[in-house]
Amino acid sequence: TLRNHKKPIMTNPWEEKVCKMAQTSLLQGKQFYCREWVFHKLQHCLQEKTNCCNSAVNTPSLVMNSGNNASVVSGKGAAWGVLLVGGPGSGKTALCTELLWPSSPTSVQRGLHRQALAFHFCKAQDSDTLCVGGFIRGLVAQICRSGLLQGYEDKLRDPAVQSLLQPGECERNPAEAFKRCVLLPLLGMKPPQQSLYLLVDSVDEGCNVTEGEHTSTSLSGTVAELLAGHHEFFPPWLLLLCSARKQSKAVTKMFTG
């Protein structure tokens, strides 16, 4: 729960359990071998993000209204991410797990895990981890706990923002909740010294993929749709890192660029 808030984000023990499930991996603690090149590539991408933030590059912007406040949102020039694709069983989840909970004390990923702002594991066998509302509330709770962005909690004190995080409301309007509770507060933060990343494993779970199209199994859409529809408005210091099966072409095409 959020500290010093009249209305905590999560008070339901069941909901806290759901968020915990999406923030754990069955592969935690298992030794990871090889594929150091992937971590070096990710290290390079994060450094590129940091360099872009340090250089005064003008990018397109969009003004989004948030109650009585207006925020300038970085445009497509600053929004690029990493999509990790591979066949079933190729080690995508294992790699994401190693990135967050390194098994080697002297590895590159030992430093990278400190730049994780938040993460989410979509699991086919656990439909609760595919809930868009739970995904948003889980991100908010993690960002508050991370301690990486001082002042983020203060931006959530607005009763209108709090109401968007309530169960039911978040599911009814996930796009507005994501903008008001995640994107706008992050865009209003002072950029951290090092770029950070948001990791979402198996982002293609929860989509019924057919040839050339995909449909959502949820009335509030999917995590993939939410991220793809708002990625261009991520702050330039935040790297979106997703994994998906290469067979899920309809989903992976959402994340071109």
pLDDT, mean over the chain: 81
Please determine, for residue 257, whether its predicted confidence score (pLDDT) is greater than 50. yes
| Domain assignments of the chain as residue spans, ordered by start | 28-49+79-207+217-256
Portion of the chain with pLDDT greater than 90, in percent: 57
Tell me the pLDDT tens digit for each residue of 213-227.
Answer: 444 444 458 999 999
- Structure pTM? 0.81
Tell me the pLDDT tens digit for each residue of 184-209.
Answer: 999 999 999 999 999 999 999 987 64
- The pLDDT value recorded for residue 79 is 76
- The pLDDT value recorded for residue 22 is 67
Give bridge partners of residue 72 from the DSSP assignment: 63
Tell me the pLDDT tens digit for each residue of 96-140.
Answer: 999 999 987 777 888 899 999 999 999 988 888 999 999 999 999
**Could you tell me which CATH number the domain at 28-49+79-207+217-256 has?**
3.40.50
- The pLDDT value recorded for residue 143 is 96
Tell me the pLDDT tens digit for each residue of 10-39.
Answer: 445 445 555 566 677 767 767 777 788 999
- The pLDDT value recorded for residue 5 is 41
Amino acid identity of residue 95, one-letter, is: L
